[in-house]
Amino acid sequence: SQTIHQWPATLVQPVGSPLSLECTVEGTSNPNLYWYRQAAGRGLQLLFYSVGIGQISSEVPQNLSASRPQDRQFILSSKKLLLSDSGFYLCAWSVVWGETQYFGPGTRLLVL
């Protein structure tokens, strides 16, 4: 069966520090991968998606970046965090583009 992992679960970082959030998927090959951010009490904002290794599409201009160094690994990074980067970050994968997505447990990031 397929499993998706995200870590860390919680992160408190000072403004200006770097960020690296990791997401890995098990039990499937060549998944579509997604990074979302969810502000408190709000819906999900799509940040990045990837349909294959090394292929990254960005949805919103910001100081975040994403990489897909391996087929089932998706990394969200920042060189310098802003206060506005605080939020709940969710990684997801899908088999079929535009259809069911399977979400990880999320990372709660607090930038102080």
Note whether 24 and 76 are within 8 A (CB): no
Binding track over 77-96 against other proteins, x by CB under 8 A: -----------x-x-x----
Of 19 and 89, the one with the shorter C-beta distance to other proteins is 89
Note whether 81 and 65 are within 8 A (CB): no
**Sites for other proteins among residues 2-61 (CB under 8 A):** 42-44, 46, 49, 59
**Pairwise CA distance, residues 83 & 56, whole Å:** 25
Q: How far is CA 29 from the centre of its chain?
A: 18
Positions in the binding site for other proteins (CB under 8 A): 42-44, 46, 49, 59, 88, 90, 92, 97-106, 108
